[in-house]
Structure 1
Amino acid sequence: MRYAQGGGLTDAERAARERIRLQAVERFEGEVKNREIAAALRVSERSVERWRRAWRERGETGILSKGSPGRPRLNPTQIARLERQLERGPLVHGWADQRWTLARVKMLIGRLFHVSYTVEGT
């Protein structure tokens, strides 16, 4: 099961995944091997390894859902303003070439709106 960053899940789907993790915890306490847990719950061994590590480090709270990521940081008006600024190009904003990179867009958002985003993959 792979999901986009933030899950893209409804509350019911998130709760169902949490129930699976709690079933894994019951097996951790019974010292069942990761491979057996993964097969029984129909998840990857890698997921079970991550859950077990989180459970060891933080207990049951370590494997609980963190909930939805919350509301977007930019409102529709700000997004429209950002789009207009992006259309003007990087040169206008002080960069030496015409390439928009994720890092540059992040910096521009910070300058315009004083909001910080995490850029994945950098």
Structure 2
Amino acid sequence: MPKYKPADYEVLRRRCVELDQAGWKQGPIAQALGLTQGWVSQTLKKYRQQGPLALQWRKPPGAPTRLTPDQLCQLVEELNKGAEHQGFAGAVWTRPRINEVIKKLFDVSYDPSQVGRLLKKIGWSRQKPQPKARQQGAGAVAQWRQERLPELKKS
């Protein structure tokens, strides 16, 4: 059975109805379109009940958003203040930490796996650790390599 994109099904539904109106049986229609007989049956049933509107592609409805655009702006402001400002040890934001802030501010809870989707929506990307510490001084590193490293290699 071929894999179709969701929008392709509108074309298939229209073709299904055309073949039905041309006198084809459901089995041959399903075989010609590469779909199941149940799909053909449901498509024809919806067409009989709702007419041509039943054939149109519609974006599947999702759950309504739990945070308003204003709340998302407020969340960005709070996150920009930093994790330590919110009472966390360290400056790194994690999904569970962000979820705690959302709970505290808006009394809304998300599954941590969905916090990443929310962050993408507000334009945040995941944090990547820096390869070396910002606070690291080049002079101190050079001195450590000259003095301490040879001692460690000896033992």
TM-score by length of 1: 0.49
Select the structure of larger CA radius of gyration: 2
TM-score by length of 2: 0.40
